[in-house]
Structure 1
Amino acid sequence: MTIKGKVALVTGAAQGIGQAIAVRLASDGADLALLDLTKDDLDETKAKVEAEGQRAITLGGDVRSKADLESAVDSAVAELGGFDIMINNAGIAGVGAVETISEADFDRSFDINVKGVMFGIQAAAAKFKELGHGGKIIAATSIAAHDSFPMTGLYSSTKFAVRGLIQAAAKELGAFGITVNGYSPGIVGTGMWEQLDREFAELTGAEVGATFAKYVEGITLGRASTPEDVAGFVSYLAGPDSDYMTGQTPLIDGGIVFR
């Protein structure tokens, strides 16, 4: 059983986990609508999707805007002929002590990480209902949605909030054949973690690379995750084998947090 012939929308698809998800879903047979802040940044992902033999469209938009997400969903239907899978992947991270969180940082983090998921859920659910079929809504959480860590209080609180949204939306939308799940990565070797490592170095005085290495040492499987590790699990959530699963945010972290 595959997702061949399905249409998926991936937010934050220009790089990292978002790009890996798009390429994996394409390899599984889906056509892709790719969304990121700047449309031109999506050219590489589009080329990789097309190399898998699938169609792709690129869309510039901000997940903080409900109108942008609704427009993206409309474009997927108009240009690709349908809409079946919503991947709310876009997000930001950062480090800092709880006592130092500014109002601006708080608003930006919640607007992108939480509002962006909420509006994505709303846009997808409305379109699935309009089209008269169920669908898959999937959102990025994190190990920090299950266990908070020092200096990640703001990021962690946004991801705990996303878990709450996922659970509520799953309960509300199940009757319409719509499942809502999340994926919770750990330490992934992407540009985002390079940024976090630099921020930790500035705050703690550690050498650049030391924080990343410290966290990797604690992974049971002995290595950092790749974006493709995460994408493989998202492929499962997007496919028919997960049809009886909803409201969940499983860990895909190589063994850091255990539940």
Structure 2
Amino acid sequence: MSGRLAGKVAVISGSGSGIGQAIAIRFASEGATVVINDLKPEGANETKAKAEAAGGKAITVLGDVTKTADTHNLIEETYKQLGRCDILVNNAGIEIGADFWDVTEKDYDAVLNVNLKGAFFLTQAFVRRLREAKQPGRVINVSSVHEDMVFPHFASYCAAKGGMRMLMRNLAVELGPLGITVNNIAPGAVITPMNANLLNNKEQLNALLANIPLGRMGTVDDVSAVALFLASEDGAYVTGSTYFTDGGLIRNYHEQ
């Protein structure tokens, strides 16, 4: 199959829905073989069917990115079944809102473990195999505008995404000599299952839209288009950067 990612293999964590699913479908439509990872088979199987309908090949490897054994298994299964791995998209993420003084250790651990620890050790497993094979690669992290922008009542999420920003910058320098690029995509307000409550609250939604210069919510396809650029040859000389995909929100945001 032809396409901008023909012959490439891409692992996408948390790709059973939302942005991860859109990236898997977009990559598949451009010739990549995609490895769909999620906690549950339902979403993973749905993404697999959609990726195949888009013309690509897809496999599913279930697992929990907070468990290092699962992250290692995700990369090992990819090599076992497909023989290579060129692109890693760290997309798995959660947010749990609470006033700072009410945040529990359990919720803090859950948010940091999925958003930061999971990305850290999945990238490590990916890089180890590339380094052994002396192969280049691409790491794309789905971060958030909140790697840089305040989000009161979501302190743990901001801490995790801020950590992801610094991890990306550090790894871009450390892994550059290996031919591995590392970049972040920082979505703003995107129509996904994670934002269901916001989408159903007209007052909150209208206040947010007033803060977005382009005047609309983002779509998962807005984000997957940036991921395709970073994964393709068009993005070969880009590393150490965050791509804010937010309709201008970060430049215009203020608390109500």
Relative to the length of structure 2, the TM-score reads: 0.93
Offset at residue 132 of structure 1 (A) = 2.0
Cross-structure match for 2:225: 232
Counterparts of 1:194 and 1:52, CA distance in 2: 26
Counterparts of 1:163 and 1:210, CA distance in 2: 31
Whether 2:212 is the aligned partner of 1:219: answer yes
Cross-structure match for 1:64: 66
Q: Which moved more, 1:123-132 or 1:207-216?
A: 207-216
**Of residues 249, 252, 256 in structure 1, which corresponds to 2:245?**
252
CA offsets 1:80-112 (integer angstroms, 9 cap, x no match): 232100000000012222222111111111111
Counterparts of 1:111 and 1:68, CA distance in 2: 13
Counterparts of 2:204 and 2:96, CA distance in 1: 14
Relative to the length of structure 1, the TM-score reads: 0.92
- Aligned AA (1:219): I
- Identity between Structure 1 and Structure 2 (%): 38
Work out whether residues 96 and 107 of structure 2, in 8 Å CA contact, stay in contact via their aligned partners in 1: no
Query: Per the alignment, in what secondary structure is the counterpart of residue 23 of structure 1?
Result: helix
**Of residues 161, 165, 168 in structure 2, which corresponds to 1:166?**
168
Work out whether residues 35 and 59 of structure 1, in 8 Å CA contact, stay in contact via their aligned partners in 2: yes
Counterparts of 1:102 and 1:131, CA distance in 2: 43
Work out whether residues 3 and 29 of structure 1, in 8 Å CA contact, stay in contact via their aligned partners in 2: yes
CA offsets 1:41-63 (integer angstroms, 9 cap, x no match): 31110011111221111111000
Taking the TM superposition and a 5 Å limit, the aligned residue runs for 1:21-40 are: 21-40=23-42
Taking the TM superposition and a 5 Å limit, the aligned residue runs for 1:87-98 are: 87-98=89-100
Query: Per the alignment, in what secondary structure is the counterpart of residue 136 of structure 1?
Result: strand
- Aligned AA (2:80): A
Query: Per the alignment, in what secondary structure is the counterpart of residue 91 of structure 1?
Result: coil
**Of residues 111, 114, 120 in structure 2, which corresponds to 1:112?**
114
- How large is the Cα RMSD of the aligned pairs? 1.6
Equivalent residue pairs, number? 250
Work out whether residues 184 and 243 of structure 2, in 8 Å CA contact, stay in contact via their aligned partners in 1: yes
- Aligned AA (1:114): L
Counterparts of 1:157 and 1:210, CA distance in 2: 27
- Aligned AA (1:50): E
Whether 2:140 is the aligned partner of 1:138: answer yes
Cross-structure match for 2:128: 126
Offset at residue 136 of structure 1 (A) = 0.2
- Aligned AA (2:215): G
Q: Which moved more, 1:14-23 or 1:122-131?
A: 122-131
Cross-structure match for 2:178: 176
Q: Which moved more, 1:148-157 or 1:54-63?
A: 148-157
Counterparts of 1:98 and 1:19, CA distance in 2: 32
- Return structure 1 stretches of 4+ with deviation > 3 angstroms: none
Offset at residue 216 of structure 1 (A) = 2.1
Counterparts of 1:176 and 1:120, CA distance in 2: 17
Structure 2: stretches of 5+ with no match in the other structure: none
Cross-structure match for 1:149: 151
Work out whether residues 30 and 56 of structure 2, in 8 Å CA contact, stay in contact via their aligned partners in 1: no
Query: Per the alignment, in what secondary structure is the counterpart of residue 250 of structure 1?
Result: strand
Structure 1: stretches of 5+ with no match in the other structure: 199-206
